[in-house]
Chain A
Amino acid sequence: MNNPIYEAALEKAREQVSEKGLTGQEAPAFAEAKVWKLYASAFRFVTKAKRKILGRIGK
């Protein structure tokens, strides 16, 4: 949580960004590894399911 002086600085920064017509989305994106992201989601799903099943059978 910022103090009021920092909040004022943030507000001023927002105004500057707006004056310059920037959104923060202009820069090219960092290329994330999508395949691995899919793998991570699948892995997370399997781990959760495993835990749920083990929890139900009391292990």
Chain B
Amino acid sequence: MSRIVQILESLHYGDAISNHAIAIHKALVDRGVDSAIFAKNIDSRVRQYAHAYDVYQEHADDVIMYHLSIGSDMNREIVKYRCKKVINYHNVTPWEFFVPYNAYMAQLCRKGREDAEFLADKVDMAISDSAYNSFELEKTGFHCPMHSIPIVMDYSDYEKRPDPTVVEEFSKDITNIVFVGRIAPNKKHEDVIRDFYYYTKHFNPNSRLILVGNYNNFESYYLKLKAYVRKLGLKNVIFTGHIQFSEMLAYYRTADVLLCESEHEGFCVPMVEGMYFDIPVVAYDSTAVGETLGKGGILLPEKNSALAAAVIDQVVRDETLRQEIRIHQKERLEFFNPDKVVKHFVQVLTEDNN
């Protein structure tokens, strides 16, 4: 039986792709499949799951699953292996979004897209987080067999205890509009802020916007956003910056609406998290956002902050609509059931390799 080898640049603690790789690894081991993770950088907290990439020795019947999400020298290195190679494509943010704020990150993304092009005819199979990502790969020139399988999300993490201080502070009688995602230009925080401006000014002054996410690498964008908040004269806008997982859980637990105006997502983890926490989701329909939400939350067909604010107002005030959204979101959530997703991964990775 083949060994499934996952290779990635960095195995972090708590990051979506790393969690995904670990979940697949655990599932393979549980099913008696030989599995290993190799990474160049390994966080000490997940050390037990991975080996240093330098020590990887290829076996002829290995199946390599390489995680591609950004430019890296490793992206092209994997073609040197002769065994079956599978690319797990998590999408690379179009570099143009980053140019105004971080030339280095823009460069990395540009390289990531060029690397994907380079790999197009050099891998045996591609697995993408979404149909949108698969479509992108096709456009890039991939003609190998392709599968769209979502990221594996471990729901048990969400049952951990939310930070009690945050829950206490943010559970007061005020409407919490929340957006979760690192501060990055493709996420269009400025549009979320503008939506909130309309909402608090024209619909509900007793409201607050909480922007959950760190701003590493995009400090200048963060400062511009802060300046924009001041320009709009908004008082109730909170940037959490980097926070602990328990604090993120607390923000989800206290949210009334999850709002997203992102213009580029290859898969949208916070959408799934929002559905898990039973928060009505209102999101701009772009890239893989609509696909992730399915028939769950409300999709905004256009960028119009007045309209977004009016939709949020209806969701907040209309209990029947909220219930309707919750029912559809629960149904949609089933699609991301980690057991099912993991099973699908194991099936695809192990078929025809024995």
Q: Which residues of A contact B (CB under 8 A)?
A: 1-3, 5-6, 9-10, 12-14, 16-17, 20, 22-24, 26-28, 30-33, 36-37, 39-40, 43-44, 47
Residues of A within 8 A of B227 (CB): 31
Complex Cα spacing A47 to B301, Å = 32
Measured between C-beta atoms, what is the minimum distance from B16 to chain A in Å?
26
Q: Which residues of B contact A (CB under 8 A)?
A: 96, 99-101, 110, 190, 193-194, 197-198, 202, 224, 227-228, 231-232, 290, 295, 298-301, 303-307, 310-311, 313-315, 318, 321, 324-325, 328
Taking A9-B298, A30-B194 as contacts, is the C-beta distance between A3 and B328 under 8 angstroms?
A: yes
Q: Contact check, B314 vs A9: say whether CB atoms are below 8 A apart.
A: yes
Residues of B within 8 A of A13 (CB): 307, 310-311, 313-314
Which of A22, A30, A32, A36 has the largest count of B CB atoms less than 10 A from its CB? A30
Q: Contact check, A28 vs B232: say whether CB atoms are below 8 A apart.
A: yes
Residues of B within 8 A of A22 (CB): 198, 202, 306
A–B pairs, 5, beta carbons within 8 Å: A6-B298, A16-B313, A20-B202, A22-B198, A36-B101
Q: Contact check, A10 vs B100: say whether CB atoms are below 8 A apart.
A: no
Complex Cα spacing A39 to B193, Å = 26
Residues of A within 8 A of B101 (CB): 33, 36
Q: Contact check, B305 vs A12: say whether CB atoms are below 8 A apart.
A: no
Taking A27-B197, A27-B305 as contacts, is the C-beta distance between A16 and B99 under 8 angstroms?
A: no
Residues of B within 8 A of A30 (CB): 190, 193-194, 224, 228
Which of B100, B197, B224, B299 has the largest count of A CB atoms less than 10 A from its CB? B100
